[in-house]
Structure 1
Amino acid sequence: MTNRTGRNRQHGFTLVEALVALCIVGFGMLALVAVQFNLNSGTDLTRQRAEAMRLAQEKIEYFRSYTGITTGTVNWDALASSATEEIIDKYTIGGVDVPTNATYRRSWSLSGNNNDAVRMLQVKVTWEDRNYKLNSADADKGRQSVVLHTSIARVDPLETAYLGYPLPQNTNLKRPKNRNLNIPLEAIPLNTQESAYVLSGSLQIVFSNTSGLVIKKCSNLNATGSNYATATCTDFLGYVLAGYISGTPTVVSGVNLNGLTGITGSACKFGDAEDINTKTPIAGYKYYVCVIQVAALGNPYAGTVKLGGIPTSTGNTYKVCRFQYASSDFVDSNERNVQPYAGVAKSLDNQNYYIENSPSGSCPTITSAGAPSGFTGASVATQLHQDCRASQSPTTTATGTCPATAYNAATSLP
């Protein structure tokens, strides 16, 4: 007879235990999936953010790459805020369109106007990541964005080239007094942004140090500018036209601007050229500086400038020869002193002339032999500008070949 002391022992898992284990494993797998999903989302977002950053920087570099102030494929005066968002959803590489992994929207805003020395730029790039949800209450829910801020300075790219340009012997190409090269050296610094120049005892003009344009006219600004804050000044829009006259400059009485169109007023200062350090006259040279008033900034003028007062009586053999400099990709025809001028919308310096006294009808090539002491530049050919020889019977009216009158007094600015 067999004795049984209890139930038979059971082996293995019960169904409940198996289900519990399955649940534990399932929750663990779900956690792993969630981790993997978050990793993928993070990687995707990082890649998209880097791409958005690149797109924002690309637009900033576009604004910084302007090739001119008023002209050029990209020019300062044409820079403006975006009117609509720019949609970017693909790149073209080697003629093949490659889609991006998100659709980017790029917009930008630029403060101030094109007359400002510095403008603030904001570029914003937005995109919709994989968590984006369009919701009537919050349409931007899940939309990511990158915003960059910077400042853009109004500096002619030609001037920045001086930093890497090899300096000629005994010369210095940096901007004198840290202001525009078209501002006369004698101009009085008023502050970091403005300088003043005395045209006469009753008329002074104020320059923008950055643009070189005339922005104000004053009637009682003293020679030091110490009373600028209380001086009688009014806003004014104008350009400067300046240069030297050599050869036999004593026969010239001034500058005649009757041949210019598109101007609303003008005034000139004419006299001996002076050494900037000693203030003593430079023998054989005259200097002129004219203010050309226009109705609005950017309005161009055109025409021909003539020198006035040159003798045309019997036996006189004077000619006005114009320095017309070699063509270059970096200067336009107006800067080269090609006349008649066309579409001038900026200040011009080094518009120089040579007075030749000879019966010949041609103009000379000026060499270093006839230049001031220390001159080491190349020879420059001159162009016939005004033939005032008596044998040619030049007209002396205000608009003639050799006008007898000239705008010397600084009184014709309305």
Structure 2
Amino acid sequence: MKRSPRPFGRPADAQAGVTLIEALVALLIMSFGMLALVGLQGNMRRSADLAKQRSEAVRLAQQDLETIRSFSELVLPAEAAEHVRAFAQIADLKRVGAGDPESNASFTLNRVLAQRPGEPLSVQVTVSWEDRAGAIQQVIMGSFITPADPRLSGSLAIAPEGDPSRRPLGRHLTIPPTAKDLGDGHSVFKPPATSSGVAWVFNNLTGRIVKLCQLPDHGVGTDQITLEDVAAYCSTVSNSYLLSGAVRFSTGATASSEQALSPALPLSLAIITAGTSKPPAPPPHDCFSNAPLSGPVEMPEGVGYYCAVYPNLDGGAWTGRLILNGIALGHAGYRICRYSADYNGDETISNVEHPLDYVDVNGSLTRQNFLVVAGSQSCPAGRLPSPADGLFYDSKTVVHQEKL
């Protein structure tokens, strides 16, 4: 049977030649790719070796520095045990070994010590080695070592007491600044009150009220109270806390939480049962203020108040709501606001941030401030701190008391 000739296209042998050329070109391209992979693998291996060597060099340098720091005496005693090291022997300490025996490099350690009179010892440790490519690599670590008696480090195991922050006048932050330091770790403070001999003694470290005083001479000021007065007229109490702040007034046609300069009104303060579920009874307390007996009276700084709270819970904490009495509430009277905001940004109003109800308070609270506005006005929303504008506090207020 005859095969008919192909009507179109090239002969079969011509097509076979083209296919062979394409295969050779693909093989050439693949060969270049394989060569690139071989080079990449070589670089990766060298980088891995260098990383391992550098890690070992860092370990050797750190080990040598820690060996230098591990002295237990400043000067070696006459009959010291074999393992005892002294600061004075640092220069004679042997260098650490040459690294991991399974490493593919040999390490050389060099230590340089320098010390000037009255200054710490300067230490510089250099670890050198030759990498796979024959290049010299090195790691340099330095430190300062003070010739301090190692026995002083035992003080680090002693837990700090009280508030670790910087203390005004060297005592707890919550103690009123006008309190008199008695010089025995305590301060005494006489709250503002008319015809009262009440005074409180604070522990300078914890800020707690530790003694209640009833002075026979009501005219004695805080600065006149002596240790002899405390011994004669003060009795010890436990778990007693201070609650203090200011009441400001902005009772004009426009309420302002920043420019609260309206005259002060007569008022009193009390702690009542909190509005929480199954709240405990309000704690015993004594509150004093410098509010006018009749008013209004110009008081640019507002009314300052101080309450001594005596917790009645087993855990030494108290729960309750602080309110202002003696101020007429309602649209024709006044509305009482409180300065309160999420100052620390944790999305909650904690006891120190002046909530409506205090819950489980186990310390003294200060700067629990109020603002009295006209009953027809809303509590000012205030502003965030803006030092450039002279505002250094969050002036936000919220409703605390109003007549519904």
TM-score, normalised relative to structure 2 = 0.48
More strand by share: 1
More helix by share: 2
TM-score, normalised relative to structure 1 = 0.47
Larger radius of gyration: 2
